[in-house]
Amino acid sequence: MKAMVVTKYGHFPLRLMEMSTPEVGEYEILAEIHAASINPIDFKIRNGKVKMLIKYNMPLILGNDFSGIVLKVGAKVTRFKVGDAIYGRPRKTKIGTLAEFISIHEDDIALKPKNLSFEEAASIPLVGLTSYQALHDILQLQKGQKVLIHAGAGGVGTFAIQLAKLMGATVATTASEAGMNLVKSLGADEIINYKTEQFEKRLANVDAVLDTLGGNILEKSFEVIKDGGKIVSISGMPNARFAKDYGLGTFKTLLLSAVSHKLTTLEKKHHAQYTYLFMKPSGDQLRILTNFIESGNIKPVIDSVYSFHDAQKAMEHAEAGRAKGKIIVKIR
């Protein structure tokens, strides 16, 4: 099969290569991929930035979510049959959606929302699950609470704003002039132009923060959180709690404890709870998102669609960091 591949870690372009079609395990299905989305994790993996969490063998097919059609089912698969239209985010050991086919565990997929095209459906799994795990599982956002979502115009932000509104929260978000109308149309209640205003001067006493940017922005987020509030970051520094939960072993736990020391100090100072999230695949949670999408409560936000041959251009576009919603690669 044809696939977009990297052959070594580093800032190298994707190469279109002939790879063998994957075998199908007994709990797996083989899918014909119709569309995939680009996520920043793709170039972080390519650059070797997530080696601490997972090391890949080369050559590696990139791509972390997709939509497609079931071609084959393993002997013990119970939920899917040949011909089903599906979407999903493979587990970290089984990535590779910038390809014609993928074998994937049945627990990591769900039926594609009926009201979405394949390109639209491919925009959902990684950012949708991330938003759900951040807002529902970790922040446990309640009706009437106020949440700050950083980078509201990005892939995660555009989904998270819609989900937070659906959960009954008031949403404050940061965006530049170029993203203002988009985040407003998604339901954001308070929009802070991060180029001209400092969010930490404008906001106070928010119940929860979803940080997508890390660094200084994560640290300043502690200034706006109320006593007992919660901050979840998907781009900040993982801490010792994360290392333990993720089973990273003693050495990495101590290392992360040391490098996240400043965040631990801020947690204590502001009586807030800080969690680093590394999202997980989940067909069950995708089924929940499918309901939100089919009932019209959440809509995909697509920045642009590239052909399979132009996957490298799609990567470069995503890497520039200016996307408004998701960048899609149409594979078939």
Ligand X SMILES: NC(=O)c1ccc[n+]([C@@H]2O[C@H](COP(=O)([O-])OP(=O)(O)OC[C@H]3O[C@@H](n4cnc5c(N)ncnc54)[C@H](OP(=O)(O)O)[C@@H]3O)[C@@H](O)[C@H]2O)c1
Query: Which residues of the shown chain bind ligand X in the complex (CB under 6 A)?
Result: 39-41, 44, 126-127, 130, 150-151, 153-157, 174-176, 178-179, 194, 212-213, 234-235, 277-279, 318, 321-324
Q: How far is the CB of 79 from ligand X (least distance, A)?
A: 25
Q: Which is nearer to ligand X, 31 or 279 (CB)?
A: 279
Q: Which residue minimizes CB distance to ligand X?
A: 154
* Shortest reach from residue 47's CB to ligand X, in Å: 11
CA distance 183 to 188: 6
Contacts of 307 (CB under 8 A, 6+ apart): 329, 330
What's the closest the beta carbon of residue 179 comes to ligand X, in angstroms? 4
Strands 60-61 and 66-73 come out as unpaired
* CB 182, CB 153: distance < 8 Å: yes
Q: Six-digit token pair at 228?
A: 């007992």
Distance CA 119, CA 124 (A): 10
| Minimum CB distance to ligand X smaller for 125 or for 229 | 125
CB nearer to ligand X: give 22 or 325. 325
Work out how close the CB of 136 gets to ligand X at its nearest, in angstroms, rounded to a whole number.
14
- Alpha helices of the chain — where are they, by DSSP H? 40-46, 118-122, 125-132, 155-166, 177-185, 199-202, 215-221, 240-245, 249-259, 261-270, 283-294, 311-319
Q: From CA 303, how far away is CA 311, in angstroms rounded?
A: 14
Minimum CB distance to ligand X, residue 45 (Å) = 10
> Please, which residue, 30 or 328, has the CB nearer to ligand X?
328
Cα-Cα end-to-end distance for the chain: 13
* 176 or 273: CB nearest ligand X: 176
Around Cβ 104, how many Cβ atoms within 10 Å? 31
Decide whether 33 or 234 has the Cβ nearer to ligand X.
234
Q: Which is nearer to ligand X, 22 or 238 (CB)?
A: 238
In the beta sheet, which residues pair with residue 191? 173
Least separation in angstroms between CB 213 and ligand X: 5
Q: How far is the CB of 291 from ligand X (least distance, A)?
A: 22
